[in-house]
Amino acid sequence: MPVGSGHDAPGARGGTRPHGGPAGSPRGGTRRARRRGGDRRADRRAARASIGKRGRTVRRLWPVLVAALLAAGCAAGGAEGPGGSEPEAAPASRGPSPVRVRVVRLEPGPFVEFLRLTGTTEPWTEVQVSSELGGTVREVGFDEGDEVRAGQVLARIGDDLAQARLDRARAELTDAESDYGKIVELVRRKAVPEQELTAATARRDRAAATVREAELLLERAVLRAPISGVAVERLVEPGEVVPPGAPITRILKIDPLKVELAVPDTELGWLRRGAPATVSVDAYPDREFPAKIHFIAPDADRDSRSFRVELELPNPNGRLKPGMTVRARLEKRRVEDAIVVPMDALLTRREGPVAYVVEECRAVRRKVRLEATEGGKALVGDGLVEGDLLVIEGQDELTPGRPVRTESCP
């Protein structure tokens, strides 16, 4: 080998490096090792990035692949069953699911239908008290609004003069009776003719009549309440001089009260005298007052063509007053053994009201004919019978034949 061709020859294996020691030195080897390590790390990062991209791509495509495999499996299964047999039939449909409902068993019961009207309270009796004779008002025995009793003294008008007339009439009667007694004795003795006895008898009778007249005048000078009730006016005061016929007060009898109603002729046939009724007023919204039919007019009003009906309304405590507007409820008819259902249990269809009943755990629709409704209940004329299981909750979700769930149909 020529001299100088050994390891020190320039450019051998890696050539000359501008920076650093000789190629064979320890420092140069370390740099090369680091460079090769960095290259390997870069390669690994690139590989991981490529795998990540492929993984994301696979995840995005995975649902599509699964759907395609399922479709292929269904097509293969539909073409041929296991072992080359004919395709299996699809399972039968289970039908609509049962509906949870609540039912009641129908039993006969009472049904009462009412006629509702508006009316006005009136005093049972109203009396205008007036002075028949006239004269000076000597006494007034009541105040406006007082309750008075029948026979109670209301006023004394000119009773002093009436008393004086009575005293004079009684004195004259005493004289006439004395003269009559004397004449009777003289006639018995035949001392005077019979004509004297006739004249004495007439004078005695006239004196007695004068006394009765004076007693009546005195009685009528003292004004008394003709009925028990409330004195709603006081029209005179002591010391006044009033003429004959002057009004003194007005007395209203308010126990019982009278309720006047106007009943259409189409409803009159349901009503009868003595039938029960109830009355309510706005002043006592939570109370109802019992009443009864007292009078039914025999003829209609010519203008309204309605009939006047009066109710007798007891008013022992005087809470109700004349002139109140009231709502009256009159009993039209009562059916004892009736099929009565809640209105909420009925459905409105094109053919009319219908109801659902349960038969063999399935819904059966019935067309129902109603005769009357009252207070949220209906009187059934046809379509439902005693013993039917009427659906009262959940009927809106039912169709004919649909299965149901109840306590007896779990």
How far is it, in rounded angstroms, from Cα 267 to Cα 117? 11
pLDDT tier at 40 (50, 70, 90 boundaries)?
A: low
> Are 150 and 191 contained in the same domain?
yes
> Are 302 and 343 contained in the same domain?
no
How far is it, in rounded angstroms, from Cα 85 to Cα 98? 37
> Are 156 and 237 contained in the same domain?
yes
> Are 164 and 261 contained in the same domain?
no
- Looking at residue 215, which CATH number applies to its domain? 1.10.287.470
> Are 209 and 297 contained in the same domain?
no
> Are 139 and 229 contained in the same domain?
yes
Instruction: Please answer whether residues 311 and 258 qualify as being in contact, where contact means their C-beta atoms are separated by less than 8 angstroms.
Output: yes
4 lies in a domain? no
pLDDT tier at 94 (50, 70, 90 boundaries)?
A: low
155 lies in a domain? yes
The pair phi, psi for residue 52, each rounded to 5°, is -60, -40
Mean pLDDT confidence for 61-90: 44
80 lies in a domain? no
- pLDDT higher than threshold 50 for residue 333: yes
> Are 137 and 231 contained in the same domain?
yes
> Are 329 and 380 contained in the same domain?
no
Q: Which of 376, 356, 359 is nearest to 368 (CA)?
A: 356
- Per residue in 131-171, pLDDT (tens digit) is 998 899 999 999 999 999 999 999 999 999 999 999 999 99
42 lies in a domain? no
46 lies in a domain? no
> Are 142 and 231 contained in the same domain?
yes
> Are 180 and 236 contained in the same domain?
yes
136 lies in a domain? yes
* 317, 334, 351 - which closes a domain: 334
The pLDDT mean for the chain works out to 82
Q: Which domain holds residue 347?
A: 102-111+338-405
Backbone torsion region of residue 359, taken as left when φ is above 0, otherwise alpha when ψ lies between -120 and 50, otherwise beta: beta
Backbone torsion region of residue 158, taken as left when φ is above 0, otherwise alpha when ψ lies between -120 and 50, otherwise beta: left
276 lies in a domain? yes
How far is it, in rounded angstroms, from Cα 100 to Cα 408? 11
- Per residue in 252-261, pLDDT (tens digit) is 999 999 999 9
* 297, 313, 334 - which closes a domain: 334
- Looking at residue 265, which CATH number applies to its domain? 2.40.30.170
Q: Write down the pLDDT at residue 188.
A: 86
* 334, 360, 386 - which closes a domain: 334
- Looking at residue 375, which CATH number applies to its domain? 2.40.420.20
Instruction: Please answer whether residues 309 and 296 qualify as being in contact, where contact means their C-beta atoms are separated by less than 8 angstroms.
Output: yes
If one counts the domains in the chain, the total is: 3
- Per residue in 354-402, pLDDT (tens digit) is 999 999 999 999 999 999 999 899 999 999 999 999 999 999 999 999 9
Query: Is the pTM above the cut of 0.75?
Result: no
Backbone torsion region of residue 352, taken as left when φ is above 0, otherwise alpha when ψ lies between -120 and 50, otherwise beta: left
Q: Write down the pLDDT at residue 332.
A: 87
- Higher-confidence residue: 349 or 77? 349
- Higher-confidence residue: 87 or 332? 332
> Are 148 and 210 contained in the same domain?
yes
Give the range among 47-61, 181-195, 248-262, 390-404 with minimum mean pLDDT.
Answer: 47-61
182 lies in a domain? yes
SS3 string, the chain, reads CCCCCCCCCCCCCCCCCCCCCCCCCHHHHHHHHHHHHHHHHHHHHHHHHHHHHHHHHHHHHHHHHHHHHHHHHHHHHHHCCHHHCCCCCCCCCCCCCCEECEEEECCCEEEEEEEEEEEEEEEEEEEEEECCCCEEEEEECCCCCCEECCCCEEEEECHHHHHHHHHHHHHHHHHHHHHHHHHHHHHHCCCCCHHHHHHHHHHHHHHHHHHHHHHHHHHHHEEECCCCEEECCCCCCCCCEECCCCEEEEEEEEEEEEEEEEEECCCHHHCCCCCEEEEEECCEEEEEEEEEEEEEEEEECCCCCEEEEEEEECCCCCCCCCCCEEEEEEEEEEEEEECEEEHHHCEEECCEEEEEEEECCEEEEEECEEEEEECCEEEEEECCCCCCEEEEECHHHCCCCCEEECCCCC
Q: Which residues are paired to 276 by β-bridges?
A: 292
> Are 271 and 316 contained in the same domain?
yes
